[in-house]
């Protein structure tokens, strides 16, 4: 499943191709994504894409009259191709551009989304989201205040989009290991300086993943291959039973809030 770093790398990959481009045609081959693709989205035809932003795991293609909101779901990916390349299986949406390139959306499991947000309104999928992890609003004082009195496991807490957006399972595991915090510890019972360290580690772990993914950017022009979700250097995720990178004790595994959690019972308290 694409997590925030993949979405940010997708944004960086498509932005140079779609920014300042006029949309000549929207082609929808299968509107049945997580939500049906709304008729409103066709308003993007004839509009110029002014900017590509990201909010949580949503990509925002901004025009003068509104914004196309794209979510990659469980298995979605975007590619930029020259016009005229026949669609393959699961290529559900094309955004044809005046440059002669096509932004093509592929999604085998169809849990992704293409939505439309008229100018000066906020789509319901974007309201009530917590701060971006890289924003100044996500800081030690903020997390302490949010965590106060919370009995939720810290891992579940930081994966809550109302607390901070974009911390998926992989990065929750990795940042808690980096901060030395046990994933089951109650959020409200963690000392302020440890929460401050966790904020720093969340930012660092996500930034490192984006940096690694950035090296795959050339793939966005590759007509044959799919961008794929990039391989990463991870410390604990997917490594249960293997030696802890810090103390060599075997890493433990537990389900926390239905999600696979890997941690070191010696290094994480």
| Residues belonging to the active site | 2-3, 57, 259
* DSSP sequence for 102-147: EEEEE-TT---EEEEEETT---TTTTT----TTSTTSSHHHHHHHH
Residues 133, 138, 140, CA angle at the centre, nearest 5°? 125
Residue 266 near Zn ion by CB under 5 A: yes
Give the number of residues in contact with Zn ion, rule: CB under 5 A.
6
**Segment lying near Zn ion (by CB under 5 A), choices 86-94, 127-135, 189-197, 257-265:** 257-265
Whole-angstrom CA distances from 210 to 108, 123, 137, 215 are 24, 27, 20, 9
From 110, 184, 194, 246, residue interacting with Zn ion (rule: CB under 5 A): 246
Closest separation in Å from C-beta 262 to Zn ion: 11
Residue 264 near Zn ion by CB under 5 A: yes
Whole-angstrom CA distances from 266 to 170, 177, 193, 200, 248 are 20, 11, 20, 21, 10
Choice between 31 and 180, CB closer to Zn ion: 180
Burial status of residue 17 (CB atoms within 10 A of its CB: 0-12, 13-18, 19 or more):
buried
Closest separation in Å from C-beta 265 to Zn ion: 8
Q: Which among 67, 71, 76 is positioned nearest to 58, based on CA atoms?
A: 71
Q: Which among 95, 54, 87, 88 is positioned nearest to 71, based on CA atoms?
A: 54
The annotated binding site for DNA is made up of 90, 109, 150
Residue 110 near Zn ion by CB under 5 A: no
Tell me whether strands 91-97 and 51-55 are parallel, antiparallel or unpaired: unpaired
Choice between 53 and 269, CB closer to Zn ion: 269
Choice between 106 and 252, CB closer to Zn ion: 252
Looking at residue 212, the DSSP 8-state letter turns out to be H
Residue 267 near Zn ion by CB under 5 A: yes
Q: Which two tokens stand for residue 199?
A: 């904020």
Closest separation in Å from C-beta 235 to Zn ion: 10
The residues, ordered by sequence, that sit 6+ positions from 191 with a Cβ below 8 Å of its Cβ are none
From 244, 252, 256, 263, residue interacting with Zn ion (rule: CB under 5 A): 244
Other CB atoms within 10 A of residue 172 CB: 24
Choice between 204 and 266, CB closer to Zn ion: 266
Residue 137 near Zn ion by CB under 5 A: no
Residue 256 near Zn ion by CB under 5 A: no
Closest separation in Å from C-beta 176 to Zn ion: 12
Residue 22 near Zn ion by CB under 5 A: no
From 32, 36, 247, 269, residue interacting with Zn ion (rule: CB under 5 A): 247
Closest separation in Å from C-beta 244 to Zn ion: 3
Q: Which two tokens stand for residue 94?
A: 């094309």
Query: Using N-to-C axis directions, what is the helix angle for 192-214 and 4-18, rounded to 10°?
Result: 40
Residues that bind Zn ion (CB under 5 A): 244, 246-247, 264, 266-267
């Amino acid at each position: 499943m694409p997590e925030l770093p993949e979405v940010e790398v997708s944004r960086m990959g498509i932005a140079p191709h779609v920014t300042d481009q006029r949309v000549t045609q929207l082609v929808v081959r299968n509107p049945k994504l997580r939500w049906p693709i709304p008729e409103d989205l066709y308003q993007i035809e004839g509009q110029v894409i002014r900017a590509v932003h990201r909010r949580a795991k949503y990509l925002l293609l901004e025009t003068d009259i509104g914004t196309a909101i794209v979510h990659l779901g469980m298995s979605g990916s975007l590619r930029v191709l020259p016009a005229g390349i026949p669609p393959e299986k699961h290529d559900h949406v094309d955004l044809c551009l005046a440059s002669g390139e096509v932004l093509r959306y592929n999604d085998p499991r169809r849990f992704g989304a293409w939505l439309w947000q008229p100018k000066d309104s906020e789509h319901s999928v974007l309201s009530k989201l917590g701060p971006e992890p890289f924003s100044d609003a996500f800081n030690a004082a903020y997390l302490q205040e949010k965590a106060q009195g919370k009995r939720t496991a810290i891992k579940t807490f930081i994966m809550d989009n109302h607390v901070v957006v974009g911390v998926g399972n992989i990065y929750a595991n990795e940042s808690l290991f980096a901060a030395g915090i046990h994933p089951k510890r109650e959020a409200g019972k963690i000392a302020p300086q440890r929460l401050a360290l966790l904020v720093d580690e969340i930012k660092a772990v996500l930034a490192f993943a984006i940096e690694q993914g950035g090296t795959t950017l050339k793939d966005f022009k590759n007509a044959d291959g799919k961008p794929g979700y990039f391989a990463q250097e991870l410390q604990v995720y997917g490594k249960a039973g293997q030696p802890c990178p810090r103390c060599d004790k075997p890493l433990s595994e537990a389900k926390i809030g239905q999600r696979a959690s890997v941690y070191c019972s010696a290094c994480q308290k």
